[in-house]
Structure formats: structure tokens, C-alpha cells
Structure 1
């Protein structure tokens, strides 16, 4: 019991350092290099465990409730898997024309499902958690079809796509652990989530660090000898990821969504399951494909914290304006 309580208490400090976690993991991978490459076989298993722990919070009833009114879910999915992959492809063609591997990397960056860790940020800033969980689960379950299909449609024959292997990897790493966590939580009527999610949550952060470090070691040479090309990759990745947040904000503003739904839209449009993307890139493509995905890891959490601060500041301003209006009415 004491061990579980201690693990649960460790989660809050880890959440505070989330913006620094993935850059530190990449630095560790670059510094350790070949010493971590031998651990690559563990990555799918670690990732499957992370996905299983994250899915313990999923509720079948909440997901079904969101699916009965799927408008918002479909709108975010359209941003995730139609608009943003096109943005990634356009950025790749604009800045790296003639390099099909880098273009594929930018498409993969936005073909992978929304980030499981987005539920952390949506929770912190008071967004619609039910919508987020429904989106994560639906996006995860569809990922074995969406990811290869997106790559094939946008890249065609430019790069050899091991679609079947990729679908199998996504099935074992993401889909089956997600379904297992969902069913276990449903069977226990939420008891598993209440009892085990808090103490197991730190393991997700630790697992994320390990996965990113191991994947970072695969491109240690590229990062150690960074040149103008690598700087361009990082710059283009930064710009397109920021655009993801802005598109989520713009769409929710245009459709006049409330603050909770808008918060969910922004985080889920901006964040991606980059650790899964890195695993796919490293396992099924040449090393250059992983560069945009690994680059995104450098600042994804930092951008989430930045946009979260903006969301929080906007909420305080609206709250202050409402209070002032009430005072005037009084």
C-alpha cells in the first residue's frame, strides 16, 4: 500500500516536468548512442504497457455518449487526418522537395493518432475529458487503417510502405492494449481506474522517457552532427506543429464551441502520439523518415504548456469579465 501511495504521489512532480521530459530523453539517447540501440526490441512492449495503463481511464459509456453526437468528434478527426497530413505533405514538398524520406516523415508526423498524453493537458486546463478519451480511443482503434492509408494516398510509390507490417505493429502496440484497458475498466465498473490509474500513471512518464531515449539513439549521428538541413527540419516541424494548435483553436472558434470543447480541440489537434510515430519510423522506414517525428518530440510538451498557459489566461480573463458584469448588474 505504501509503495502504491508513493507511486501515486510521484505523478504530480513528473507532470510538472513534462515539458522537459522528452528533450531530456532525446539528449540521453544521443549521448548513449549505440549502448541503447540494443534495447530497441523492448520498445513495442514498453509502448503497449504505456497504452494499456493510459486506456484504464477510458469509459465505454462516455465513449458511446460522444459517439451518439459525433459532430465534434468527426470535426477534430477531419483536422487530424485530412487537413494536417496535407499540411505536413505541403511543408515537406515546399522545403525538402526531392527528398522523399523527409516528405514521408512530415506526412507520418500528422498521420499518427492524437497523443494519449493530451488527456493530461486537457485535464489540467479543464477541457472536455469525455470528448478527449472518446477521440483517443476511436483514433487509436482506427490507426492501423488510417496511418498506412494516409501514407499511401499522399506518398504513392515514392517510398516503399510496409503497410501490412505497420498495421500489425499498430494492432499489437496500440489497439489491443487499449481494448484490454477499456474492457477491464468497464468490467470493474471503474474500480480499476480508481485504484490503479494513480499509482501506475508515473510508469507512463518513465516509459515515455525510455522509449524516446531508445528511439533517439537511432538517429544519434544525425543529431550529433546537426547541419543546416537538420535545422530546417526542426524549424519546419515547429511551424507545422504550432499550426496544428492554431487550426484546432480556429475551428472551435468558428463553430462556436464552449471553452471545454475548444480546449480539447486545441490539445488534440496540436498533439500527436509521437512516441508511436517514432517507433513506426524506426522500425519500418529508413532513418531519415524519423527526423521530423523525433524533432517534434523536442518541443511538443513545451508547446502544450505554452498553449495551456494561453488557454488558462483566456479563461481567467473571461472569468474576470463575467464577475465584473455581475457586479455592475448588482
Structure 2
């Protein structure tokens, strides 16, 4: 059984560039038929994080903290370079539409996505670093997201700090602690049989998350579909795709080890778009949510393609 699960996991990893856009399409088509499953996303992410944390011991985190250069490279790309790029290209493409410009800024002003940790593990990134970047990014969000939006969009937003902390605790902190604890208690032996057997289920969970999250915007996107939205969608795709080469170059410029560069690349390029959508709907005109909605549609599909392009030639574990 274990051998079959390892083989299945390898097939899933190779098929991710196809499975991810398929998940997006299914989410759009199924819509309300699966959108009711939204509450399960938190638990699916918790399972994903737990599976990855099984391969990490406590000493790995101390190694990350002793060499913080990847964290600084991440903050540079996430909180400075990518928001400025989004603001710049949005002003060129939609110079008179402040609502749309704000949407692009909001898209890049939110914290890194938890799913970046999963993609990093697929391409043999530094798991401890990926978790650290998620924690750091989310902790700084109440300060950096309003500041970025206020500076670039000349407007203000309020962040539900407690809600974000609780969500992070359930999706990342608690399952990570359990996974690391089990790794320490078994002295890493959990990775001999259990962890490899769980990997295909974690990837299937990621596909399910993509389907459910996409279904949340299906009705709004399809009901208001218009050719006028095409430029907005194309620019979303361009910004999402550009994040990967920019992040990759930042990692090379910082002379990061390969596994650290994998983690930093996915962490910079991916965003917690669900948080951006909540802010767009609550505090801005309806048009502001359009770039965010298209971001949900494109982000994971582009991630699958770009991840394979930059890191897919490496042998999988």
C-alpha cells in the first residue's frame, strides 16, 4: 500500500500543472453546489500544514532564526517590490479608474498565502522557513497592509486582527506544533512510512481547497461576465505570473540556498486573496473586488505552471 501511495504521489506532483486549473474550472462550474463546503477549508489547510510539519523538527526553526537573510529577502519582495509593481502597472493600464487600481494594490498588500507552504514542500523547499514566513507575514499584516493601501491608494482600511490571528492559529500554528512534536517524539522515524503515505492526500486536499475557494466567486463572476473584464483579468494574470521570476531573482540576488529560494519564491508570489476579497467587499466600491476575484481564479493555476517551470526539473522526494 505504501509503495502504491508513493507512486500515486509522484503522479500527482507531475500532474499539478493540469490538476490545478482543472480545480479552478470545476469550482467555477459547480459554484453553489460546493460553496457550502467553505468552512472545511480551514481544516483542510490544517491537515496540509500538519502533513508538512511532520517532516520538520524544532531544531530546523532555530536554524532559520540564526540566518534571517531569507526573511529579509521575503519582506523586501512581499511588502515593497510587488505592491509597487502592482500599483505601477495598474496606473498605466487603468489611469483614471481608482477603484480598479486599488484592487490591484489590495491584491499585493495582503499577507502571503498558506498554500505557498504546500507548493514549497512539493518542490523540496525549506519547510521551517515557509512556516516562519507565513507567521511573520501574518503578524505584520495589521501594520503593513493598511500602511501600503494608504500610501499607494491614498485610502484607508481596517484589519480584523483577531480574526486573522485565530485563523492563523487553526490553520498553521496548532497543526505545525502537533507535526513537529510528533517528529521530535519519534526522532524523525515518522518520515520513514507515515509522512510519505500522507503526501498524496495533502495534494488532493489542496485541489479541493482550490475548487471550494473558486466556487465562492463563481456566481458573481459568471453573472456579471463582460468583455470589459478581459483587460482586468489579463493584468491579474500578468501580475501573478511576474511574481515568480521577480521572487526567484530576489532569492538569487540574496544568494539563498536552493531550498530557501524555493520557499521565498512561493511566499513572495502567492497571496492570501481571501483576506483581500473580504477587505475589497467591506471597504471599497464594487469594482475594487474585480482584480481580487480574478486573482482567486488565476493564482493557483499560474503557480502550478510557474512552479514547474522554475523548479519542476528537480527530482521529487
Q: TM-score range by the shorter chain?
A: 0.7 to 0.9
Of 15, 18, 26, which aligns to 2:16? 18
Separation in structure 2 between the aligned mates of residue 41 and residue 284 of structure 1, nearest angstrom: 19
Structure having the higher Rg: 1
Equivalent residue for 1:139?
133
Tell me the CA shift for residue 110 of structure 1: 5.9
Separation in structure 1 between the aligned mates of residue 103 and residue 228 of structure 2, nearest angstrom: 10
Equivalent residue for 1:209?
207
TM-score, L = length of structure 1: 0.77
Equivalent residue for 1:292?
295
Partner secondary structure for residue 190 of structure 1: coil
Partner secondary structure for residue 116 of structure 1: helix
Taking the TM superposition and a 5 Å limit, the aligned residue runs for 1:1-330 are 2=1, 4-92=2-90, 95=93, 97-99=97-99, 102-103=103-104, 105-108=106-109, 111-112=112-113, 115-123=116-124, 129=125, 132-156=126-150, 158-224=156-222, 226-255=225-254, 257=255, 260=258, 263-264=261-262, 267-268=265-266, 271-272=269-270, 277-281=272-276, 286=281, 288=290, 289-308=292-311
Deviations 1:137-172 (A, max 9, x none): 211222431233332112245444323212221221
TM-score, L = length of structure 2: 0.80
Equivalent residue for 2:284?
none
Deviations 1:56-110 (A, max 9, x none): 1223223322322222342234323332234334445554542266235422566
In structure 2, stretches of 5+ residues that fail to align are: 282-288
Tell me the CA shift for residue 207 of structure 1: 0.8
Deviations 1:21-67 (A, max 9, x none): 22111111111111112211211111211111122122322332232
Separation in structure 2 between the aligned mates of residue 162 and residue 221 of structure 1, nearest angstrom: 26
Contact 1:28–1:213 under 8 Å retained in 2: yes
Partner secondary structure for residue 161 of structure 1: coil
Separation in structure 2 between the aligned mates of residue 194 and residue 208 of structure 1, nearest angstrom: 23
Separation in structure 2 between the aligned mates of residue 238 and residue 110 of structure 1, nearest angstrom: 19
